[in-house]
Amino acid sequence: MKVMRGNYRGHEDKISKVNVRDQTVEIEGVTITTAKGTKLAKPIHASTLLITKLNVTDKWRRQKLEKGLSETAKKEIEKEAEEQLKNLEAEKKAAEEAAKAEEAVKAAEEKQKEETPEPLKEEVGAETPEEISESEVEEEKPEETIEKSDAKMQTKEPTPKKPTAKKTIKKKTEEGEP
């Protein structure tokens, strides 16, 4: 199908759903994004669409199309149906082969995981000099940060409270004293 009007003009893809009651069609790739971020298929009215290729693999559909046509047109429809059936079979075989290949890859990965032994953990006393010096450096850093934070806390003095003279003045004026 090809969309002839609207925002999706020129878009060509397969039909995913037909709503006969509303006379609308949902086409793959024609979607609306909701406020939540989910994507929904946008129904398009059938009058704005153009049929580019018709699926004639269904016998009932072929019989309906062939009524009142000439013999040459009927033969063309039969040829098209045969080609479409071959393409469908080829796609199914390709999909099956791809699935088998994926299963083989997964099986090979599982075998590799089983065959490779996990590295043995060395004892704590067998550290190299580089590892020891790195661990000592890491231990010294937290102590330095603690000392710096203590020094900052010691240098800060509590701020003195502001005098509340204004409040007492207001109280005196309210009581009637000058």
Kindly report, residue by residue over 115-149, the tens digit of the pLDDT: 766 655 555 555 555 555 554 545 555 555 555 55
What is the per-residue pLDDT for 25? Answer: 95
Confirm or reject CATH 2.60.40.10 for domain 2-53, answering yes or no.
Answer: no
pLDDT of 92 above 70? yes
pLDDT band at 55 (very low <50, low <70, confident <90, very high): confident
Instruction: Give the residue-averaged pLDDT of 17-30.
Output: 94
For residues 33 and 39, the answer to whether their CB atoms sit within 8 Å is yes
3-state secondary structure labels for all residues of the chain:
CEECCCCCCCCECCEEEEECCCCEEEEEEEEEECCCCCEEEEEEEHHHEECCCCCCCCHHHHHHHHCCCCHHHHHHHHHHHHHHHHHHHHHHHHHHHHHHHHHHHHHHHHHHHHHCCCCCCCCHHHCCHHHHHHHHHHHHHHHHHHHHHHHHHHHCCCCCCCCCHHHHHHHHHHHCCC
pLDDT band at 76 (very low <50, low <70, confident <90, very high): confident
Handedness of CA 79, 82, 88, 92 (dihedral sign): negative
Task: Write out the residue limits of the CATH 2.30.30.30 domain(s) in the chain.
Answer: 2-53
Q: How far is CA 101 from the centre of its chain?
A: 25
What is the per-residue pLDDT for 163? Answer: 61
